[in-house]
């Protein structure tokens, strides 16, 4: 008798292995990195290579969540821009929130550009941090004076933390910017923060932030 299943009848399925996506939504495969949808950041996924394609699947459902043409080079990052659309939507939402907080589109865009230039890899986090800082400051003290804003945007680098420190330094001694226009133009807020720190130590107050 012939075997019930001959070798020709047996379908050999490609091997599926697991990979963990990193926080940027990339998995490693044969010395390259490939993107997965943002919903799978930090999650384990199934991966198999077949017919020149890399198929990435949800481990729970087996559903294919991404496909990439296999790259023959090494050290490359292969991305599908659709995988990052959610991130772009979040960024746009945060930008709009900043515009509403500041009541000025030009101010908001200048701040966004400076945050992005300073921290491009964590830009969304910086937008969220700046929104939180501005919400707290404006709710307590009101709108930011034009002279102070000009100094903030004139800095070569700015993070959400730096924004908070500079606003705190100003609020501790607003007269340093309010004395006259010349002082507004020539005073560096980093020096202002240093002044606040020295003043705090000389009067026995607690430690103050020094802006570097």
CATH number at residue 49: 2.40.50
Render pLDDT for 165-178 as a digit per residue (tens, 0 to 9). Answer: 999 999 888 877 65
CB atoms within 10 A of CB 82: 10
Please give the C-alpha separations between residue 94 and each of 3, 100, 111, 125, in angstroms, as whole numbers: 66, 10, 12, 10
Query: Based on the domain organization, do 27 and 92 belong to the same domain?
Result: no
Render pLDDT for 133-146 as a digit per residue (tens, 0 to 9). Answer: 999 999 999 999 88
Would you state the torsion angle of the CA atoms of residues 182, 186, 188, 192, taken in this order, to the nearest 10 degrees?
-40
User: Can you tell me the mean pLDDT for 137-159?
Assistant: 91
Query: Based on the domain organization, do 196 and 92 belong to the same domain?
Result: yes
Instruction: Please indicate, yes or no, if residue 58 is contained in any of the structural domains.
Output: yes
Instruction: Please indicate, yes or no, if residue 179 is contained in any of the structural domains.
Output: yes
In contact, 196 and 172? CB cutoff 8 Å: yes
Query: Based on the domain organization, do 103 and 182 belong to the same domain?
Result: yes
Six-digit token string for 206: 């607690």
pLDDT score of 23: 87
Query: Based on the domain organization, do 171 and 89 belong to the same domain?
Result: yes
- Tally the domains of the chain: 2
Q: What angle do the packed helices 123-141 and 105-118 form, to 10 degrees?
A: 140
């Amino acid at each position: 008798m012939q075997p019930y299943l001959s070798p020709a009848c047996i379908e050999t399925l490609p091997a599926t292995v697991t990979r963990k996506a990193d926080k940027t939504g990339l998995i490693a495969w044969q010395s390259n990195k490939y993107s997965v949808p943002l919903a799978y950041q930090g999650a384990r996924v199934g991966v198999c290579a077949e017919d020149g394609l890399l198929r990435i699947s949800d481990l729970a459902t087996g559903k294919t969540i991404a496909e990439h043409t296999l790259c023959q080079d090494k050290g490359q990052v292969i991305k599908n821009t659709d995988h990052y659309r959610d991130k772009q939507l979040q960024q746009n939402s945060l930008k709009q929130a900043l515009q509403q907080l500041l009541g000025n589109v030009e101010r908001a865009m200048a701040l966004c550009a400076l945050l992005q230039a300073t921290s491009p890899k964590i830009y969304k986090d910086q937008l969220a941090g700046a929104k939180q800082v501005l919400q707290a400051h404006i709710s307590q003290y009101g709108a930011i004076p034009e002279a102070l804003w000009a100094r903030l945007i004139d800095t070569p680098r700015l993070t959400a933390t730096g924004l908070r420190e500079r606003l705190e330094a100003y609020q501790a001694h607003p007269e340093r910017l309010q004395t006259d226009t010349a002082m507004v133009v020539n005073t560096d807020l980093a020096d202002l923060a240093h002044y606040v720190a020295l003043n705090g130590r000389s009067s026995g107050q607690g430690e103050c932030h020094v802006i570097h």
